[in-house]
Amino acid sequence: MSKELISPADLSAVLTEELTIYAEDVQKKIDKAGKTAIDELVRITKDTAPFDIRHHGKHFADCIASNARKQGQTGTVYTWYVKPPCYRLTHLLVHGHMNRTGTGRVKGDPFLHNAWDKVRKQYEKDVEEAVKGD
């Protein structure tokens, strides 16, 4: 903001302009933090995803990906997902399922929750720094 004198009639317009500049700057920093977080989440989940050698060596991690969608003025939304046809397995791998014979349960592997817990802390810190302007 410049050091010019502002008349009371112009105060609203000047404040709106300054807050718009601040909001755009914060949104860019939050988008950058989101991109960093989603890339890290994909990397960690690919490293820790279960591997089933019975299915011709096809690794579940090969189907893990992310995408970004622009949401107009509100920035970018990043989504972690699993590509078809593996996406059907995600819930079963994380939460467990009945075994093939139906006589017991296979314990779930919380690889996704563990990865998110690691990434979330840094993401929240980055967003907080973006808002504070550090």
Structure tokens at 34: 């989101």
Question: Each residue of 101-115: pLDDT tens digit?
Answer: 889 998 888 889 999
Q: Would you tell me how many other CB atoms lie within 10 Å of the CB of residue 104?
A: 9
Question: Each residue of 40-76: pLDDT tens digit?
Answer: 999 999 998 887 666 555 678 889 999 999 887 778 9
Higher pLDDT, 5 or 78: 78
Can you tell me the distance from the alpha carbon of 69 to that of 67, in angstroms, rounded to the nearest whole number? 7
Domain boundaries, the chain: 11-129
Closest CA to 66 of 81, 86, 85: 81
User: Do residues 119 and 40 make contact, with C-beta atoms less than 8 angstroms apart?
Assistant: yes
* E-only strand ranges, the chain: 64-70, 76-82, 97-98, 105-106
3-state DSSP assignment of residue 20:
helix
6-10, 47-51, 127-131 — most confident range: 127-131
What pTM was computed for the model? 0.81
Residue written as tokens 């690691």?
A: 118
